Structure 1
């Protein structure tokens, strides 16, 4: 029974995702992004047929476990364009470091302003890094990994919508800027969007996503605990 459940869950998820990809490829409209449409369809099906999430996840969690290896695959284009990345190393690290601090700081301050609980604040803080790392970081700082996943998806969708819009409004022309903007602002979803623009843009977006994750982890273990403790004693 468990094997059958796993096969049905994985096959159903793959089928729906591929269908959503074809629809997005046909019309290429942001709100038809597979990340959004596939999630909506799966949630609707679970609700209509009264299938508990735990039951579905019992089979589909294999796909979740593949998020880590999928993230590692971004190393391929990074290796291919290593000299280009090395040439822009300083601006990449500086800009992503500033972006990471801004993402964590703004998330924390906004959550405090909204008077969210401590667990929700800790779940919101890692929203600007790729899902598998964000979930681990959420556990580290005392958040709820499933809530963090939701915040990461929302951030990714918002970034894929607002990123290209900012590129057009600000007339950003350089490959480096486009890639770093999308990678920092929308992590994995942004990297996918950047690869739609061009391979080099996607490479810079991939690097931005990886560097942002590393910097965010460092901040999570160093400055964030002190910042949180200080704010709670205020």
Structure 2
């Protein structure tokens, strides 16, 4: 690893820690680290002229940790197992409905906007986590890199809009909050759900995982309706 790549790694971690500390002092949605950190990193790369290849060389292992981080969500799931068992049917039906709506509405919108079939197939799995969404995109004929961008946009928008919806409709139930954020905004939504409560975060985790599996199973079949 060269000095530029190492510097990019150190800078990315430092920026995240600073934005997280700032968010704790000023807890506004638009100051969340998941939104502010990428913006600062992108701006820094553009101003410094550092190519993405050099940045990726030093920081790729951070994205490689998505898998282990997802597995680590099993800890709060285990701690709230009694709640999960009690509301298993409600969570399952809600997540299935949300995942199917996300897939079908994405494909329908792409068709109505006269986007190419390739873009439609890239957009459809956007509500799943990045690894699953990219795999589904590749399976159906989409472009995984474009899908990754749609997944990122979905997560950030869901994380920003979800709490607003919760506040407007006065959703106080931890189960409902968790399902809403986990189904619509996957990892980013789950991060926000844990800010409400451990139960909301745990439900959001299981909703995120279920959404990924449902997306994997349903997307290839659902897209046939629009092709």
Number of aligned positions between the proteins? 227
Cα shift readout 1:142-192 (whole Å, capped 9, x = no counterpart): 222222222112111221222122222222222111111111121111111
Q: Which residue of 2 aligns with 1:107?
A: 106
Within a 5 Å distance, the mapping from 1:48-197 to structure 2 comes to: 48-197=47-196
Structure number with the bigger relative contact order (C-alpha 8 A, sep ≥ 6) is 2
Is the 2:9–2:55 contact (alpha carbons within 8 Å) kept by the matching residues of 1? no
Cα distance in structure 2, aligned partners of 1:146 and 1:19: 29
Cα distance in structure 1, aligned partners of 2:43 and 2:7: 17
Deviating beyond 4 angstroms after TM superposition, the runs of 4 or more aligned structure 1 residues are none
- Structure 1 alignment gaps of length 5 or more: none
TM-score with structure 1 setting the length: 0.91
Is the 2:103–2:125 contact (alpha carbons within 8 Å) kept by the matching residues of 1? yes
Q: Which residue of 1 aligns with 2:208?
A: 209
Classify the secondary structure of the residue corresponding to 2:49. coil
Cα distance in structure 1, aligned partners of 2:84 and 2:42: 40
Q: Which residue of 1 aligns with 2:36?
A: 37
Picking from 215, 218, 222, the partner of 1:224 is 222
Q: CA deviation at 1:193?
A: 0.8
- Structure 2 alignment gaps of length 5 or more: none
Cα distance in structure 2, aligned partners of 1:136 and 1:34: 27
Cα distance in structure 2, aligned partners of 1:142 and 1:149: 14
Q: CA deviation at 1:6?
A: 3.9
Q: CA deviation at 1:81?
A: 1.0
Is the 2:5–2:54 contact (alpha carbons within 8 Å) kept by the matching residues of 1? no
Cα distance in structure 1, aligned partners of 2:136 and 2:69: 18
